[in-house]
Amino acid sequence: MKRKLTNILVTGGAGFIGVNFIRFLLGEGSSKPDYKGRIINLDALTYAGNAASLNSIEKSFGGTRYFFEKGDIGDHAFVEAVFQKYSIDTVVHFAAESHVDRSILGPEAFIKTNVLGTFTLLDVARNAWKDSAGQIRQDVLFHHISTDEVYGSLGETGYFTETTPYDPRSPYSASKAASDHLVMAYRHTYNLPIILSNCSNNYGPYQFPEKLIPLMVLNMLEDKPLPVYGDGKNIRDWLYVEDHNSAVWTIMQNGKTGEKYNIGGENEWENIKLLNALIEIVAKKSGKDVEKIRSLITYVKDRPGHDRRYAIDCSKLKKELGWKQTVSFEEGLGRTVDWYLSNREWINDIRSGEYQHWVEKNYGVR
């Protein structure tokens, strides 16, 4: 049965990947998908969310194809009302607490949003999507956005595939793993039409400057220390955010209901090597002295339980659905640095709230 995909509820649409997803789907990204329907953005606007990131979308599509609803995914009555108000037929569930360091310092919010919040969304969908005979409709879709971190940590070799057993090791990844299991359980128990995707590290515009790449870019521009955890040899697999979103859209349109797809960059970097590459780019674009920036590198105490290596095998997605990455790391990092260089207002805005207070309390000024 063909999916409707006409009234799409995007949860967490004011956060990094969600903002980029909405811009992409409404034609403001660098590739233009063929989407004619509506987007309903449900976001609690936590420290990580910024509705102003979608000002141009609001201006062009507000009240016709774009709608913003401020609220918590864990609020059953509110989510139910949003489902009814907009006749939601599709959910893309990005909303989460997403930063590993914060989950180590304060895990509770991660359990509330990532586990209980996902449960609430699933349960509202299960009730809202019943047909007149009480059967769950199959022309709808609940797409759950997850992470490669649920698979644990790799040694020097090997890759995560869709059948790698879960082995989460931080409160963040444990909460994401729990949400993945709930999504699968709603498929098996209630026949809810779900799809799950697990992606590697994203980077690009609008990423909150608590994550490695934007934090380092801003600290370089502000002559602040560049804090490298442990020996700097942990490895991540990086993907430009627009490529993640084109994969999600491909899966939503053509993926098989009930399946799980890995999404990755096939682009592994040791943190310290990535940092050195980034220093070269920032120096070139900002006119700062490369050696002066390099002298800011500061090795600091390791993150507790720091996963050593992540690497995604995304061959299922490539072979079955024909997706591929389109933005090279050099190109993507260049675009990202350009964006942070020219969006000072956004940076000041997002840093001004609760987050800065949290950073200062836990790390001292960075």
Nearest distance in Å: CB 273, ligand NAD: 18
Does 11 engage in binding with ligand TDX (CB under 6 A)? no
Contact mark string toward ligand NAD, 23..62, x via CB under 6 A: --------------------xxxx-xx-------------
Query: Which is nearer to ligand NAD, 95 or 128 (by Cβ)?
Result: 95
Contact mark string toward ligand TDX, 275..314, x via CB under 6 A: ----------------------------x-----------
The tokens 């805005």 sit on which residue?
Answer: 349
Nearest distance in Å: CB 336, ligand NAD: 13
Does 350 engage in binding with ligand NAD (CB under 6 A)? no
Does 267 engage in binding with ligand NAD (CB under 6 A)? no
User: Which of the ranges 42-50, 64-72, 77-85, 221-229 carries the binding residues for ligand TDX, by CB under 6 A?
Assistant: 221-229
Nearest distance in Å: CB 234, ligand NAD: 14
Does 211 engage in binding with ligand TDX (CB under 6 A)? yes
Residues at the site binding ligand NAD, with contacts judged by CB under 6 A? 11-12, 14-18, 43-46, 48-49, 72-74, 94-98, 113, 117, 145, 147, 176, 199, 201-202, 208
